[in-house]
């Protein structure tokens, strides 16, 4: 497990429609949160890419969850642009060509690439239908090992996968885990959830959390409670 302060392990997913709403949430959370995830919705529709530099300048880290996948030349150049924006993490689909290109594009920058192994919306049947020979468990493991062999520094692994992925790749790869619900929280559309403490125990380095914080009556207090839960197992 990476040595990090409990607060720096929490990544708040800014799953809101536009930059103004995102900035209001960042303001509300204040120094309770140091790391934010910007996904496709905010990046494409809400001027979210402009927010990356602003957050970085304010001493916050940004996880750009754009899940790149294209020809290597395009992935390499797009990754270099994301690095220039000041992002700390960028996701790419864990295809060997794509991962290799992203690692090249991020070289010499502060950007770390995270491989997305298999989308959690896919089951074994979906993979067969898409023409793959492996089921989800084997595919996740295979792609995690390929990522490691290609020098990709990290992976996104759902709470259900975190333990197996950590066992497959050992202690050094960064593991970022969504699908977290504090004990007693609304589960929403997440099917396999873990508590913050459970995910950290399973080997996650960072937790991505959206609705339990964004939809809380007091988001700042919700974030602080999650950080306290992390601190109890990773002081
Ligand atoms: O609101 P919630 O905490 O469920 O948000 C989790 C974030 O992590 C969302 O931005 C979602 O897109 C992302 N995510 C996820 N499950 C995955 C992969 C990503 O919830 N398997």
202 contacts 166 by C-beta, under 8 angstroms: yes
Q: How many CB atoms lie within 10 A of CB 205?
A: 22
Whose Cα sits closest to atom 2 in ligand 1? 210
Q: Which residues contact 14 (CB under 8 A, 6 or more apart)?
A: 22, 25, 26, 36, 37, 38, 39, 42, 48, 51
Residue 35: the pLDDT is 98
Sign of the C-alpha dihedral computed for residues 130, 132, 136 and 140 taken in this order: negative
The DSSP bridge pattern shows strands 206-209 and 10-13 to be parallel
Catalytic residue positions, numbered = 67
Q: Does domain 6-233 have CATH number 3.40.50.300?
A: no
66 CA distance to ligand 1 middle (Å): 13
Q: How far is CA 120 from CA 45, 166, 169, in A?
A: 24, 17, 19
Question: What is this structure's pTM?
Answer: 0.95
Q: Taking CB atoms and a 6 Å cutoff, what residues make up the pocket around ligand 1?
A: 13, 15, 39, 120, 158, 178-179, 190, 208-212
Q: How far apart (Å, rounded) are the C-alpha atoms in residues 52 and 191?
A: 30
Q: What is the pLDDT along the chain (235 residues), one digit of tens a residue?
A: 667 999 999 999 999 988 999 999 999 999 999 999 999 999 987 688 999 999 999 999 999 999 999 999 999 999 999 999 999 999 999 999 999 999 999 999 999 999 999 988 889 999 999 999 999 999 999 999 999 999 999 999 988 899 999 999 999 999 999 999 987 777 777 766 889 999 999 999 999 999 999 999 999 999 999 999 999 998 8
Q: How far apart (Å, rounded) are the C-alpha atoms in residues 95 and 70?
A: 10
Q: By C-alpha distance, which of 99, 98, 68 is closest to 82?
A: 68
- pLDDT tens digits for range 134-191: 999 999 999 999 999 999 999 999 888 999 999 999 999 999 999 999 877 777 777 6
Q: Is 161 helix (H, G, I), strand (E, B) or coil?
A: coil
């Amino acid at each position: 497990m990476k040595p990090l302060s409990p607060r720096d392990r929490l990544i708040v997913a800014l799953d809101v429609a536009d930059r103004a709403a995102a900035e209001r949430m960042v303001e509300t959370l204040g120094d309770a949160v140091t790391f934010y995830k910007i996904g496709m919705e905010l990046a494409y529709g809400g001027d979210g890419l402009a927010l990356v530099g602003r957050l970085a300048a304010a001493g916050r880290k940004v996880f750009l969850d754009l899940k790149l996948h294209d020809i290597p030349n395009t992935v390499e150049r797009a990754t270099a642009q994301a690095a220039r924006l000041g992002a700390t993490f960028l996701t790419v689909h864990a295809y060997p060509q794509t991962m290799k290109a992203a690692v090249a594009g991020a070289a010499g920058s502060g950007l770390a690439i995270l491989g997305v192994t298999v989308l959690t919306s896919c089951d074994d049947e979906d993979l067969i239908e898409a023409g793959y020979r492996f089921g989800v468990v084997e595919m996740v493991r295979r792609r995690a090992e390929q990522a490691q062999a290609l020098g990709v520094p990290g992976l996104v692994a759902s709470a259900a996968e975190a333990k197996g992925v950590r066992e497959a790749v050992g202690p050094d790869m960064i593991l970022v885990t969504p699908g977290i619900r504090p004990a007693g929280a609304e589960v929403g559309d997440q099917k396999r959830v873990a508590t913050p403490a459970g995910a950290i125990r399973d080997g996650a380095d960072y937790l991505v959390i959206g609705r339990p914080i964004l939809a809380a009556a007091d988001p700042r207090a919700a974030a602080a409670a999650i950080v306290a839960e992390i601190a109890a197992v990773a002081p």
